[in-house]
Amino acid sequence: MRSRNTKNNPDKINDQSDDKNSAIQQSMWGGRFGAGPSAIMQEINESISFDKRMYAEDIAGSKAHAKMLGQQGIITKADVAAIHKGLDQVKAEIEAGQMLWDPALEDIHMHIESRLRELIGDAGARLHTGRSRNDQVATDFRLWSRTALDGLDTLLQDLLTALVNQAEKHADTVMPGFTHLQTAQPVTLGHHLMAYYEMFSRDRSRLCDCRNRLNESPLGAAALAGTSFPLDRDMTATSLGFKKPMANSLDAVSARDFALELLSSLAISATHLSRLADEIVLWATAQFRFITLSDAFSTGSSIMPQKRNPDAAELIRAKVGRIQGALIGLMTVMKGLPLAYSKDMQEDKEPVFKAVDDYELCVSAMTGMINDLKPNTAVMAAAAGYGFSTATDLADWLVRVLAMPFRDAHHVTGTLVKIAEDKGCGLSDLSLAEMQAIETRITDDIFNVLSVEASVASRTAFGGTAPDNVRTAVKAAKQELNL
């Protein structure tokens, strides 16, 4: 348990005297309280340690609010000019590392307002007219999430581009397809990679939908009931790039479904990242040898000099737990809260911030690995023929050429697989006589469908693994990505 000694505790942001803290809190909270909070209350109550990353959004919201107050005649034009100039200075100080973060001021909103008042006096005190920290933080959080989503969209485009480029190179590269991690049917590496293209495309779409839904402005809802000041909420919404103001003041300050939707979308996409990462781990093993990763995305062992470990993939596989945990954590926070705002909701930002950070790192690392990996095509091709992977092609030939019911064809094929298994050979190594002993109507033509190359080439139905299908899918993907 970390020390509660605020003077010697390195986790504390800044130490202030009790008298000064008390004065700050009384000024912030008004005349209702006669004394400041205890040290432990101050520690559990502060959020500046994490919400300071929303400083740019808070300043943008304040500038839009001030401009609207001036437009509506609620404050003077001179006050608006002073507020804008002061906020620009506050932003410059923060970005220069000159802001003194003080837990007594609790959050980013009070830090900016307090410094603004020091800089411009009474004009700074008028900025909060017609708004509350409740609608202020909801606005900041939506703005931050919107910016984060825009960045994630760019990262996902990079990953999708990497997948498409590798798929195009390996549209003809044969490899085994698996079910139950057992060899099932031959596929192409290009087709396999394009499966992940589809997954991440849906992830990108989900994040786009999330951005669209969250892009409404809570600003002007005030604490919960709206305000008696004649605010122009459409003006502030437009100024901040929102589609429109939120329609209900209670909902505006208390809704966090946008954050849950963001975390849910990240959790789903992180699961896809984890699945791909797990395949990279398997493919890079000495047992598979399907791919090689360069030194850029591998690590060694402190004791075993021969080792090349795909640690980036393993860490991506692990980090999905953090992102899923963030979603469950925030859902748990929100599940029992009555309208409107409760302090519980201060716990909304940390999991979102961390999940976005983790997801950004994972997507970037995966993009790097996809660009970096080198397929061992000969090994993949040999493995594609293991485990009687063309058995389904044999059964399909019986149906197509001999008009045999599929269940009967399945039985004949299974019998031939058993014979080949007992002999320790492949299906294509059986003689025609051995096959005809089981089904007299089989002809030499059967051998034309038993190679892995013929198998993948035959899968021409829409969505199938045929190389021409892969090239068509790649072409469509490039158009979607504007490549």
Q: Which residues are known to be catalytic?
A: 180, 301
Q: Can you state the angle between helices 55-71 and 108-120, rounded to 10 degrees?
A: 60
H, E, C per residue of 411-440: HHHHHHHHHHHHHCCCHHHCCHHHHHCCCC
Please give the single-letter amino acid code of residue 156: L
Query: Which DSSP letter does residue 185 get?
Result: E
Q: CB of 84 within 8 A of CB of 63?
A: yes
Query: Which DSSP letter does residue 447 get?
Result: G
Torsion of CA 169, 172, 173, 179, to 10 degrees: 120
Query: Which DSSP letter does residue 177 get?
Result: E
* Number of Cα atoms under 13 Å in the Cβ half of residue 86: 24
Q: CB of 230 within 8 A of CB of 201?
A: no
Tokens 């005030």 locate to 222
Q: Spell out a b/e string for 42-75, using b for 16 or more CB atoms within 10 Å of the CB, else e.
A: bbebbbbeebbebbbbbbbbbbbbbbbbbeeebb
* Number of Cα atoms under 13 Å in the Cβ half of residue 231: 22
Pairing of strands 291-292, 244-245: unpaired
Instruction: Enter the tokens of residue 233.
Output: 């909420």
Q: CB of 108 within 8 A of CB of 55?
A: yes
Hey, is 329 helix, strand or coil?
A: helix
Q: Which helix (H) or strand (E) holds 216?
A: strand 216-217
Q: CB of 132 within 8 A of CB of 113?
A: no
Instruction: Enter the tokens of residue 190.
Output: 């290009």
Query: Which DSSP letter does residue 189 get?
Result: H
Q: How many residues are listed for the chain in this entry?
A: 483
Q: CB of 239 within 8 A of CB of 326?
A: no
Q: CB of 319 within 8 A of CB of 336?
A: no
* Number of Cα atoms under 13 Å in the Cβ half of residue 138: 34
Distance of CA 89 to the CA centre of its chain: 34
Which residues are bridge partners to 216 per DSSP?
244
